Amino acid sequence: MSTPQIALVTGANKGIGFETARQLGKQGIHVIVAARDPAKAEAATLALKSDAISAEALTLDVSSAKSIELALKVITDKHGVLDILVNNAGVLLDDAAKKPSEQPLEAWRKTFDTNVFGLIAVTNALLPLLKKSKAGRIVNVSSILGSNALHQTVDSGIYDYKIPAYNVSKSAVNAWTVHLAHELKDTAIKVNAIHPGHVQTDMGGASAPMAVADGAKTSVKFATLPADGPTGGYYHLDQPLPW
């Protein structure tokens, strides 16, 4: 009997993260459900287990170096390898009523601490375990709002949607994806940034056009890419997005 792949999904206690974990689990992958709140991580894990999914809870605050260190030790001691990392955790702290130049600097700092620095810190910490995988996959959950090209295109759907701290943090995630993919281009690891879509979550709102189940599809697709799959890209489903 073959050993199942191990996947870690950050921010997996609800929304797209939880659904990503569920869909990966339904493919026979063992899922590590990571969340800042241990009770929420445990509750999500129990829900997955009730759906016949192999899962475990992990307390992980991506903005805390100590939390990352402790999480790394748990994964290393228990599994010794990681096959899939889905960097899903993220925050949106902009005040939509304010202009870009009016957003408080503290909102910028907190946004980047989670969406950029936390993502990079988690990835760097787990990279040695991913290198032990036969086919490591890193999925950085970005957003179409990180596309500088579309923000400058007058007739694009996001032209007037200027929430700068969040948007620029996702542009930074896209840029980081390119750099890490280049570093790992001669390995079996693939790194991609993805846009899940405008999804019915706490962040996306109840009126969003996509269901959560559909919003997780791109993360799952790129978490399970075949050996000839792309790396260093920015996608929604099968569609490459403009940078």
What are the structural domain ranges in the chain?
6-240
From first to last of its 243 residues, the chain has per-residue pLDDT tens of: 578 999 999 999 999 999 999 999 999 999 999 999 999 999 999 999 999 999 999 999 999 999 999 999 999 999 999 999 999 999 999 999 999 999 999 999 999 999 999 999 999 999 999 999 999 999 999 999 999 999 999 999 999 999 999 999 999 999 999 999 999 999 999 999 999 988 777 766 677 767 889 999 999 999 999 999 999 999 999 999 999
Contact 112, 164 (CB under 8 A): no
From the candidates 40, 66, 134, 170, give the one annotated as an active-site residue: 170
Q: What are the tens digits of pLDDT across the range 184-210?
A: 999 999 999 999 988 777 766 677 767
- Residue 190 phi, psi (nearest 5): -115, 140
From the candidates 66, 110, 134, 166, give the one annotated as an active-site residue: 166
Annotated active-site residue 134? The verdict is no
User: Is 6-240 assigned to CATH 3.40.50.720?
Assistant: yes
Annotated active-site residue 26? The verdict is no
